[in-house]
Amino acid sequence: MSIVGLCYFAVCGGPIGSEYIISAGGPLIGFIFLLLFPFIFGIPIAYVTAELSTTFPQDGGYTVWVLNAFGPFWGFQCGYWAWISGVIDNAIYPALAVATFTDVYGSINSPVAEYFIKAGIALALALPNLLGIRIVGRGMAVMSIFVMIPFTVLFIWGVIRASDWGVVGEVRRSDVVYDENGDFVSMSGSINIDWSLLINTLFWNFNGAVGMSVFGGEVINPGKTYPRALMISVLLLALTYLAPLFGATVFNSPHWTTWEEGSFPSIAEEIGGSFLSNWVVLATFCSNAGMYIAELFCDSFQILGMAECGLAPAFLKARNKRFSTPHNAVYASLVIILVLVKFEFDEILGMTNALSAFYQLLILVAYIKLRFSHPDTERPFKVPGNITVLIIALLIPTGLLVYIAVDVFFSLVPALLVVGVTLAGLLYARWQKFTRAQFRQLATTTES
């Protein structure tokens, strides 16, 4: 349950942010892709994560996998891309919490005051990460139940009060007319699906399960724990998005074409009044808190694993004597988060997604490589099938990751940021002159 709770919040933490799945292309397209995405992306990635996490059950996760497959240079790149992506993504959650509050209760007039509120939230939510995986994981499991209760009510109430079941078959058109209040009037013209927004939103909402590998050294009996927990998590994630979006769609007020990130409180207001709306707002705060805590937890154990492999500064592998938590890694991540909390989500979505795609593409290539280079290594859980079957099964996830990685370069600022961050990592690794000795030392530890 600890891993399920951590995975749930590391990936989604509730349906907040999934509204574009419907509004980007219409309910018909959105629900089709929502049903398909767990099978063409979520489950394949979960199976790869389960096999490699049990083959190399060490803190550091995918950094260790790539290090074993391609050596320290690419091991560092994988961990670096993932850490930067995770920390930047984590900086968004305090901003989302403040944005939800101001949308409902009024704006904060002082930018300085707003920054310190965000920074205070970031600092307060970092504290649970100093208490260990058991405490954090159990807390996440309990919080996930609390977050889903109001959205379950929204789903049931929305279905009971459904006004137009035919809306489920609608597709977004090019000409959408709204009145002076911004309410939907009519829709006509050719089919107009925003594929970039749809796929990026789906990816962001299902991305993160691979991060459960970074605390592999803390998991008891990983051969049984990881596969079961990851499968439960992927199915729970799909249900988390599907049920509330379906209830909101068939109720259809406000109209699905008007939905954007953070629309669920407005939808709840229409369905159940201020009581349900306030309940959803509270659940949103808990969701943001849970995602922040879970992501910081994964980021910290990841950089700890890199330090233990010699790919990051040695001070980052220090652990708290009582809870065995990587406190220096938490502090290092927190410093960057405090610098970045002023950014808005939409400014860096493409950047975080692209960096995530980079390192996950590297993981998939490493997975195939390790089947060749480490055929005799014990695998407590092994995905069935030979190399040819595995390559075919991973074609669709690979294609989606390539699309995400390339899509960022159609926007100037995110493209420049991605190029700058990538070059910095390449230059740092070249400057450090990582050697094969690090790889041999790790391989000995792993296979002993």
Burial zone of 47 (CB within 10 Å; 0-12 exposed, 13-18 middle, 19+ buried): buried
Can you tell me the mean pLDDT for 223-238?
82
Could you tell me the end-to-end alpha-carbon distance of the chain, in angstroms, rounded to an integer? 29
**Are 290 and 147 within 8 A, CB to CB?**
yes
Gap between the Cα atoms of 329 and 417, Å rounded: 24
Model pLDDT for residues 386-422, shown as the tens digit of each residue:
889 999 999 999 999 999 999 989 888 788 888 998 9
The label of the residue with tokens 């991305």 reads 207
Gap between the Cα atoms of 194 and 368, Å rounded: 33
Asked whether the predicted pLDDT for residue 273 surpasses 80, the reply is: yes
**Are 326 and 301 within 8 A, CB to CB?**
yes
Residue 415 in tokens: 């493209």
Q: Would you tell me how many other CB atoms lie within 10 Å of the CB of residue 366?
A: 24
Asked whether the predicted pLDDT for residue 190 surpasses 70, the reply is: yes
- Residue 96 CA: distances (Å) to CA of 32, 122, 345, 433: 28, 12, 8, 40
**Are 184 and 255 within 8 A, CB to CB?**
yes
- Residue 394 CA: distances (Å) to CA of 44, 48, 107, 307: 7, 10, 46, 30
pLDDT at 340: 80
Which three-class secondary structure string do you get for the chain? CHHHHHHHHHHCCCCCCCCHHHHCCCHHHHHHHHHHHHHHHHHHHHHHHHHHHHHCCCECCHHHHHHHHHCHHHHHHHHHHHHHHHHHHHCHHHHHHHHHHHHHHCCCCCHHHHHHHHHHHHHHHHHHHHCCHHHHHHHHHHHHHHHHHHHHHHHHHHHHCCCCHHHHHCCCEEEEEECCCCCEEEEEEEECCCHHHHHHHHHHHHCCHHHHHHEHHHCCCHHHHHHHHHHHHHHHHHHHHHHHHHHHHHHCCCCHHHCCCCCHHHHHHHHHHHHHHHHHHHHHHHHHHHHHHHHHHHHHHHHHHHHHCCCCCHHHHCCCCCCCCCHHHHHHHHHHHHHHCCCCHHHHHHHHHHHHHHHHHHHHHHHHHHHHHCCCCCCCCCCCCCHHHHHHHCHHHHHHHHHHHHHHHHCHHHHHHHHHHHHHHHHHHHHHCCCHHHHHHHHHHHHC
Asked whether the predicted pLDDT for residue 24 surpasses 70, the reply is: yes
Contacting residues for 254 by C-beta, under 8 A, at least 6 apart: 183, 184, 263, 266, 267, 270
**Are 65 and 367 within 8 A, CB to CB?**
yes
Share of the chain above pLDDT 90, in %: 38
pLDDT at 235: 84
pLDDT at 214: 65
pLDDT at 445: 45
Can you tell me the mean pLDDT for 433-445?
57
Asked whether the predicted pLDDT for residue 217 surpasses 80, the reply is: no
Asked whether the predicted pLDDT for residue 448 surpasses 60, the reply is: no
Distance of CA 309 to the CA centre of its chain: 25
- Which is nearest to 366 in space by CA: 85, 71, 82, 84? 71
**Are 41 and 400 within 8 A, CB to CB?**
yes
Model pLDDT for residues 341-357, shown as the tens digit of each residue:
877 666 677 888 999 99
The mean pLDDT value of the chain amounts to 85
Model pLDDT for residues 280-297, shown as the tens digit of each residue:
989 988 888 888 888 888
Gap between the Cα atoms of 154 and 272, Å rounded: 8
Asked whether the predicted pLDDT for residue 326 surpasses 80, the reply is: yes
Can you tell me the mean pLDDT for 306-333?
85
Q: Would you tell me how many other CB atoms lie within 10 Å of the CB of residue 420?
A: 11
Gap between the Cα atoms of 213 and 200, Å rounded: 23
Asked whether the predicted pLDDT for residue 447 surpasses 60, the reply is: no
The label of the residue with tokens 């990751």 reads 401
CATH 1.20.1740.10 fits 2-447, yes or no: yes
Asked whether the predicted pLDDT for residue 444 surpasses 50, the reply is: no
Share of the chain above pLDDT 70, in %: 91
pLDDT band at residue 365 using 50, 70 and 90 as cut-offs: very high
pLDDT band at residue 334 using 50, 70 and 90 as cut-offs: very high
